[in-house]
Structure 1
Amino acid sequence: MFKKNFISIISILYFVVLFYLLFLSGYRQSVQGTLDYNLVPFRSISRDFNAIDSIHIGLLTNNLVGNILAFIPFGFLAPLLWRKIHNWVRLFLFSFLITFLIEVLQLLFRIGSFDVDDMILNVLGSLFGFFLKGWLSFRNKD
């Protein structure tokens, strides 16, 4: 019972922080005028790598590392919260749907932009969290 309550509390805290970071935090810019979107995989990622210098290293870190790190807990918690997410394929599909929804909401509410690269990085973070959970579970059995 304690373990289930602990996981529930951690999950609620995580989702509140994630919601804040994705929709309310100060670094999110409100988009005026035309809708901003990227539908070409790896366009934003390659642009960020090509612009690496001392000025842009923070942006690169925030975008690449931040998007991955933000979803590691999602991949770790999802199988604990939802029994149907018991393999990496289901987590991949669920993460893809959730990140697609997030990107669409950001586009509709004009908070940031719709970027397929964010989806790629978020799903990678989820998968990393899922495999980390599996590795830790396997390791604790020994």
Structure 2
Amino acid sequence: MVGNILAYALLTLWPSSNPFDPPRNLSLSLWSDLVGSLSCDMYASVGCSIGPGLGNLVGNFLMLLPLGFIVPIRWRLQFSPWAILAGVGIPILNECLQYALGTGRIATPADVVLQSLGYFLGYGACLALLRVSDSHRMAG
């Protein structure tokens, strides 16, 4: 659990390696960020074929999926408001820290939405597996 959170913090709060990135960058347009990530227009200078932003979308979605899967096992939180708060609060806190620390990364609501969706997918998958496991235990 701690390892997952540390890896998440390192991946998202590590300063950008692009020297041209401004220290603080904020985008508040959810739809254009999601669609723009898939467009080659943003990445024409690097010879885009599929859209490097697809990796960004998938990466943000998968980033909190393991944490969402671990939470119900570790703390037995089944349909808890704390688990819901974590699924929304952690990505919001992360984006606020990216902006406040001036890491050179762009803080966007699209990242919050995708990371939360990944968390809740992991959370729901774990709850489903726990229910199946419990029903097999009772039947057997």
| TM-score when normalising by structure 2 | 0.76
1:45 paired with 2:34, answer yes
2:71 aligned residue: 78
1:3-14 equivalence runs, <5 A: 11-14=1-4
The percent identity for this pair of structures is 22
Q: Which stretch has the larger CA shift, 87-96 or 131-140?
A: 87-96
1:140 paired with 2:129, answer no
1:7 aligned residue: none
1:23 paired with 2:13, answer yes
CA distance in 2, matches of 1:51, 1:89: 40
SS at structure 2 position matched to 1:57: coil
Q: Which stretch has the larger CA shift, 99-108 or 57-66?
A: 57-66
Q: Which amino acid aligns with 2:22?
A: Q
Report the number of matched residues: 129
How far does residue 93 in structure 1 lie from its aligned partner after superposition?
A: 2.9
Q: 1:58 to 1:40 in 2, by over 3 A?
A: closer
Cα displacement string for residues 83-138 of structure 1 (whole angstroms, at most 9, x for unaligned residues): 5x431765333221111110010001112021000000000000000111012112
How far does residue 79 in structure 1 lie from its aligned partner after superposition?
A: 2.9
What's the Cα RMSD here? Answer: 2.6
1:55 aligned residue: 48
CA distance in 2, matches of 1:96, 1:21: 18
Structure 1 runs (4+) deviating above 4 angstroms are 27-30
Aligned with 2:93 (options 97, 101, 107): 101
Unaligned residue ranges in structure 2 (runs of 5+): none
Q: 1:44 to 1:104 in 2, by over 3 A?
A: same
